[in-house]
A and B are shown apart, each in its own frame.
Chain A
Amino acid sequence: GAVVSQHPSWVICKSGTSVKIECRSLDFQATTMFWYRQFPKQSLMLMATSNEGSKATYEQGVEKDKFLINHASLTLSTLTVTSAHPEDSSFYICSAEGGQGRYEQYFGPGTRLTVT
C-alpha cells in the first residue's frame, strides 16, 4: 500500500518551453501533496504544498508563476514548469500524505528534468 507514481520519470526539453509532471497516489486518497526539488549531493527542498481543490502554498523564494501546481483530485497533482531554463534542471519529487500512517509522506519515484 501507499504507492505514489510520477510521470514522466525523465524529460529533456528546450529552453523556453513548458513541462508538466504528474503525481498520482495509486492506492489511497492524498489529503495533501508536496513538491520538492533536489540538486546533486543536496537535501530535499520543499517547493510547495497543495491540497485538493485549493491553491498551493509556495515556499519562500519559489516563483508561483513559474512553477504552476494544480491539485485536481485527491489522487492527482500536477507541477508545470513554465518557460524552463537550464537552471531549472533538477530532480523533482512529489510526495503524498494520507496513507495508512498518521502524517507519513510517501514519495513518488521522481522526475529528472534536463533543460537544454
Chain B
Amino acid sequence: QKEVEQNSGPLSVPEGAIASLNCTYSDRVSQSFFWYRQYSGKSPELIMSIYSNGDKEDGRFTAQLNKASQYVSLLIRDSQPSDSATYLCADMQGGKLIFGQGTELSVKP
C-alpha cells in the first residue's frame, strides 16, 4: 500500500482563525479521500469525504482536492477550542482506508 503523509504538528491557531491541515498521498490512482477528527481517547469521526478535484464545503469545513499534485487539505474557518483534536487524512486503496499519522490541532482561546 502507498503512503498518506501528514505533518504531525502540533498546529496551534488562535480562536477564530482559519486552521489549514494538509495531506499528500502517493497512490496516483486513488479516487476517494476522507478527513476524520479524533478526540483524545475517542474513536474517529467522519468530517468530510471528497472524490472530485476542487473544493467541497460543509459548514465551517472546506476540503480541497488536487489530484494532479496528489494533495488534499482541510480548512476549518472560525476555529473553536472544541476543534482541538487530531485530524486524520485517509485515502481508499483496494477497498481499505489508508490513514496518515494525523495532525494534532490546538485552538487557543
Contacts and interface: CB of A to CB of B under 8 A. Distances in A.
Nearest to A105: B97
Contact of A32 (B36, B43, B95): B95
Interface in A84-107: 93, 95, 101-107
B92 A103 contact: yes
Interface residues of A, number: 19
B88 A43 contact: yes
B105 to A, nearest CB: 15
A44 interface: yes
Size category of the B interface is: 10 to 19
A110 B43 CA distance: 6
B97 A46 contact: yes
B60 to A, nearest CB: 20
B10 interface: no
A23 to B, nearest CB: 11
Contact of B46 (A32, A49, A102, A106): A106
Contacts of B102: 43
20 contacts: A34-B96, A34-B97, A43-B99, A46-B96, A49-B95, A49-B96, A95-B97, A102-B32, A103-B32, A103-B49, A103-B92, A104-B34, A104-B46, A104-B49, A105-B97, A106-B46, A107-B36, A107-B43, A110-B42, A110-B43
